[in-house]
Amino acid sequence: MAVLATVFDLFIVFAACLGAGFFIANIMSRFICNLPDSRPKVVVELGLHGLSGVLCVIILLRAIFNEGQTFVQFEGWPKLSYLWFLFLGFALATFMVFTVMGLVRIVRGPFLDPHTKSMVHPISFKPMTQPPLPRVNQLFDLELVEIEIAIPNLDPGLTGLTVGNLTDFHLGKVCTQDYVRHAIDRLMERQPELLAITGDFVNYPRHLDSCFDLLKGISAPLGVYVVRGNHDFWVGAEDIDRRIRQLGMTLLHDRAVEVERNGAPTLVAGIESPWNMAGVPLDFIPPDADKLKIVLSHTPDEFPRLARQNPHLVLSGHTHGGQICIPFFGSVVVPSNYGRKYERGFFREGESLLYVSRGIGCHPPIRTLCKPEVTLFRFVPGDPITPHENPQKIL
Ligand SMILES: [Fe+2]
């Protein structure tokens, strides 16, 4: 009995620690991560990390020094304060919620859109220096994800159109120029006809020169289109705008352009909300469906609003696919007002598809159960494809 009670105690301690940690991670995801990088933000983030640690230590100490009682033995309960009960109950309830959510995710599996078919090509990079936690860290286990999207009534002139997507370079000390060059080269070898870059070039202004040196000479027959991400606005939006224009790329600063392939038009639009201007009007994306419409938005949080304009495909990054995932529970921190909803992969609203890329780089320098990616889309006419195996399983 004593052994069972100890095992039960240990489980309660483990569950309460995880529950408290998950709750704090959820607050970070929804309210802190999207705030501009600043000293107060760093202080709040460190404070929340510290709070997780302190809560775990409190739980452990309470478990160890519970006056000889086992942790939740009935006789011990009256000795626990109401405040302690409330805290423990809350931590355990949070743990239960995340457990149920984890189970639902596993049972339901990733969203398989019947109009899409994916293939994954490993294109790992060998760094000169070992990343932190080399055994589990997937920082450089890059993948080229090739996706076919069937669009009903696609203009015959657009059959086979290829669109490449690069996002979240975060070029710097860890995601070096060599690594990002490797990622760009592997995608450009597939010769996408249109290239979409969806932001977060660097974390610090001192890396801007190396990053934009890399992009010199990058071109695509139908053009290279760019939207800036949160880090770009924090690093220097105008400087990055100037560099993009110098390279002959098109910045889609809350506007749309039209490109033609075999006489068939495609609308390519980009929004930089909320970092440029929260809730920017979307009337530059006409909701009628007489042409293929592709929208670039760094954050997937704009998708519910964008879907009202009926784009065929919205391309986003920003979440890094959750970046640090743990077995069974999945991602811990996802910088989104919707929490983990738009973590990675495909989402559908009405006729509109959203694809959230896991991106090339990272911030901080750890990726677990979440490999980086570059993405190539191919548009084909047609009805839903037969169900398929989605390669982007969460766990
Ligand atoms: Fe990012």
> What letter does residue 274 receive in the DSSP assignment?
T
189: left (phi over 0), alpha (psi -120 to 50) or beta: alpha
Phi, psi of 144 (to 5 degrees): -95, 115
Residue 389: the pLDDT is: 52
Among the residue ranges 26-30, 37-41, 135-139, 318-322, the one predicted with the least confidence is 37-41
State the average pLDDT over residues 235-264: 95
| Residue pLDDT, tens place only, 337-363 | 898 889 999 999 988 999 999 999 998
Distance from Cα 35 to the centre of ligand 1, integer Å: 13
pLDDT class of 279 with cuts at 50, 70, 90: confident
What number is the average pLDDT over the span 361-379? 93
Residue 164, helix vs strand vs coil: strand
Q: Average the pLDDT over 118-145 and give the result.
A: 86
DSSP 8-class letter at 311: -
| CA dist., res. 351 & res. 282, Å (int) | 17
pLDDT band at 71 (very low <50, low <70, confident <90, very high): low
Q: Does domain 116-381 have CATH number 3.40.50.720?
A: no
The predicted model gives 4-32 an average pLDDT of 77
Q: What is the pLDDT of residue 394?
A: 42
More confident residue, 274 or 165: 165
**pLDDT of 41-57, one tens digit each?**
777 778 877 877 777 77
Residue 366 pLDDT exceeds 70: yes
What pLDDT does 109 receive? 78
In the reported structure, the alpha carbon of residue 233 is separated from the centroid of ligand 1 by a whole-number distance in angstroms of 12
Interval 289-335: pLDDT, tens: 689 999 999 999 999 999 999 999 999 999 999 999 888 778 888 89
Which residue type sits at 239? D
In the reported structure, the alpha carbon of residue 16 is separated from the centroid of ligand 1 by a whole-number distance in angstroms of 31
Residue ranges of the chain assigned to CATH 3.60.21.10 = 116-381
Between the CA of 342 and the centroid of ligand 1 the distance, in Å, is 14
Distance between CA atoms of residues 335 and 275, nearest Å: 14
User: Is the per-residue pLDDT at 241 higher than 70?
Assistant: yes
What is the Å distance from ligand 1's center to 267 Cα?
A: 25
Instruction: State the distance from the centre of ligand 1 to the C-alpha of 365, rounded, in angstroms.
Output: 12
Statement: residue 395 has pLDDT above 50: no
pLDDT in tens, 167-208: 999 999 999 999 999 999 999 999 999 999 999 999 999 999
Q: For residue 31, how far is its CA from the centre of ligand 1 (angstroms)?
A: 16
pTM comes to 0.87
Please indicate whether residue 77 or residue 278 has the higher confidence score (pLDDT).
278
Does residue 214 contact residue 332 with C-beta atoms inside 8 Å? Answer: no
- Residue 214 has a CB neighbour count (10 Å cut-off) of 19
